[in-house]
Amino acid sequence: MIRALAFLLAFTTPALAQLRDFSCVGTEQLQEGAVSVEFARGADQLTPAAISSLTPIAEEAKTMLDRNICVLGFAASPEGGAQTASRLAARRARAVATQLSQMGIERDRIRAEARTRGFTTERERRGVDRRAGARVILLPPA
């Protein structure tokens, strides 16, 4: 039994959780190739209007296979304390990423992240849409 287990361990390779290596750090500043998705206060479910706002960026991403997508989730300060807002932002980002995947974008091309006020500096926050919701950014080619 121990030999069989040792044999299996010797010939297994770790699964790769994310096949594409890319980062969403600094992508908040990108304006071109970005769309904002609004959510109702405290909500993490996409409305039909929000889904239709994703269609153009999904269609563009389908034709540009060398471009990855960052989905940044945000929650407004009235939506709870820091921990609650962070969880809500993560659920929003995940909902948008799931919808993009259902629209035909390969899941390994999409990275979903929650963003909170402490994540970026004040200088980086200037001019960035941080309303409650999510921001979808089609990254430039690698």
- Residues 112-142 have pLDDT tens digits of 999 876 544 454 445 444 567 999 999 988 7
34 in Cβ contact with 138 (< 8 Å): yes
pLDDT for the residue numbered 8: 43
pLDDT digits (tens, 9 = 90+) for 14-54: 444 446 677 787 777 767 778 999 998 889 999 999 999 99
- Cβ-Cβ contacts under 8 Å for 41 (sequence gap 6 or more): 76, 78, 79, 132
CA distances (Å), origin 80, targets 88, 95, 101, 128: 9, 19, 29, 21
Q: Which domains does the chain have, with CATH numbers?
A: 27-138 (3.30.1330.60)
| Nearest Cα to Cα of residue 40 among 116, 95, 111, 102 | 95
| DSSP states of 16-84 | PS-SS----TTGGG--TTEEEEE--TT--SPPHHHHHHHHHHHHHHHH-TT--EEEEEE--GGG-SHHH
pLDDT at residue number 5: 42
Q: Which residue has the tokens 């096949």?
A: 19
Predicted structure pTM score: 0.76
Rounded Cα distance, 103 and 53, in Å: 12
